[in-house]
Amino acid sequence: MDVESIFLRYSVDKLTQLAERIEVCLGALTEDQIWARGGENENSIGNLVLHLKGNVRQWIVSSLGNNPVPRDRDSEFSARRGPPAVELALSLRDTVEQAAEVISWLDTARLMRTYDIQNYLVSGVEVVYHVVEHFAEHTGQIIFATKRMTGKDLGFYAHLGQSGHTKPTP
């Protein structure tokens, strides 16, 4: 397997894993908790999920997938209420699956090509890297907020307490 294939496969696996962790968080929260803000300068978990969906659609599905989809970025942050947890989770999963499909057929030419996204000129490699990095950052915020609101350990690293664990790299 070449480096390009490893990078693309790991990117798909990581986005899928992070989306699954967000689903766990959404399932542990009430609707009020999902849309709660600590202040006007903070985003709710619901806002972050809407934002991740918009970001993945714009950067991967629309740009790399050559499938223009309009995005209203401001509305991702201004929403004070939105779909219930199940719908948020399904919508995010659908978006990640679409992105995974696009990533799976990327070739060297598409990875080396320059794309103009949000006034950034970036290569296809940078697009994939940015999306995974951005998704991970906001997933960490969602996990932290969920733990804070529920007071529970979500068990994502429970396997580390077992000897001889064989889970893949987190």
Tens-digit pLDDT profile for residues 56-106: 999 999 999 998 888 888 788 888 999 999 999 999 999 999 999 999 999
Q: What is the separation of C-alpha 111 from the centre of its chain, rounded to a whole number of angstroms?
A: 20
What's the pTM value of the predicted model, to 2 decimals? 0.91
Contacts of 169 (CB under 8 A, 6+ apart): none
Model confidence band, residue 128 (pLDDT cutoffs 50, 70, 90): very high
Structural domains of the chain, ranges and CATH numbers in brackets: 3-161 (1.20.120.450)
Per-position b or e across 29-42, b if 16+ CB within 10 A of its CB: beeebbbeeeeeee
Residue corresponding to tokens 């950052």: 137
pLDDT tens readout for residues 4-14 = 999 999 999 99
Model confidence band, residue 167 (pLDDT cutoffs 50, 70, 90): low
